[in-house]
Amino acid sequence: MAPRPVRPARTARTVALAALLLVAGTACGGQDGAPTAEVAQQSAARDRIGTLAIRTAQGPRACTASVVQSPRHNLLVTAAHCVQSRRIGLLDGLVFTPGYRNGYSPYGSWPVQSITVDPRWAAGDDPEYDVAFITVRPVDGKQVEDAVGGNPIATDQGFGLAVSVTGYPNEQDEPITCSVQTRSQSPTQERFDCGGYTDGTSGSPWVTSGGTVIGVIGGFQEGGDTPGTSYSITFDGRVADLYRRATT
């Protein structure tokens, strides 16, 4: 995410939203010797990751989201602050565009249908619950997971895992990625160090070599106050419970 001084007051009006979304995305500040993210090459696995934007793929960007496996094949995961805050409520008119790059939307855009956040996030933007699950509507009769596949969610995996993190900075038209090791920030939050994760990368999935999502950029400092260090809440019972709510 990027330096984010104060969360702006926003309303769900398209014009105001367009300007304000420029400061909503997220994550990272750096340490000496830390790597810097590179442009992500296209692959089938990375096509499960896409942009969240207002109304169209070319609309104002909010964040990054990714497809996860679910019974109805219509579920995404992202950070809760990408889609709802106590000040503005739920963001309206979001669409998910998987595999987006350089103005091209190979799978089209999938309108958001519903958003599930923990009540403790909804009540007070508690950074310990900064995860959201999103359902999207079918496009041309097909669910998003059937179009691009989905990654499983895993919980209680511990720290010190090798992951790749792919996301969409607002100022770029193609995704970036970095291969890093997770570290403990606290018993319930974790981090990685890699430069380049500016506004727009909140919600980027932390994916293990086995293709499992174990985190998303968010949590502490809404994912990070500088472009070189990013955070996630630890995926544990909190996320398992939220996933069950989103899929039942």
Q: Would you say residue 239 lies in a domain?
A: no
pLDDT higher than threshold 50 for residue 173 = yes
Across the beta sheet with 176-181, the strand order is 38-39, 176-181, 162-167, 205-208, 213-216
Please work out, in degrees rounded to the nearest 5, the angle formed at the alpha carbon of residue 241 by the alpha carbons of 217 and 244.
105
What secondary structure does DSSP assign to 154-166, as a single string? -----SS-EEEEE
Residues with Cβ within 8 Å of 129's Cβ and at least 6 positions away in sequence, in order, are: 80, 117, 118, 120, 121, 233, 238, 242
CA-to-CA dists, residue 33 to 30, 178, 191, 228, angstroms: 9, 14, 16, 11
Is 65 part of a structural domain of the chain? Answer: yes
In-domain check, residue 58? yes
How many Å apart are CA 237 and CA 196, to the nearest integer?
30
Any domain includes 76: yes
Distance, in Å, from the CA atom of 166 to the CA atom of 211, rounded to the nearest integer, reads 12
pLDDT, residue 133, reads 98
Could you report the per-residue pLDDT of 201-244, keeping only the tens digit for each?
999 999 999 999 999 999 999 999 999 999 999 999 999 999 99
Burial class (CB in 10 A: 0-12, 13-18, 19+), 37: buried
Residue 121's domain comprises 14-24+44-150
Stretch 19-36: mean pLDDT, rounded? 51
Residue 224 maps to a domain: no
- Report if residue 136 sits inside a domain: yes
80: left (phi over 0), alpha (psi -120 to 50) or beta: alpha
Is residue 7 assigned to a domain? no
Q: For residue 20, what is the domain's CATH number? A: 2.40.10.10
- The confidence score (pLDDT) of residue 26 equals 40
| Count of CB atoms situated within 10 Å of the CB of 26 | 34
Euclidean distance between CA atoms 65 and 126, whole angstroms: 20
Number of domains the chain contains: 1
Lowest mean pLDDT among 27-36, 159-168, 179-188, 225-234: 27-36
226 is a domain residue: no
pLDDT of residue 55: 94
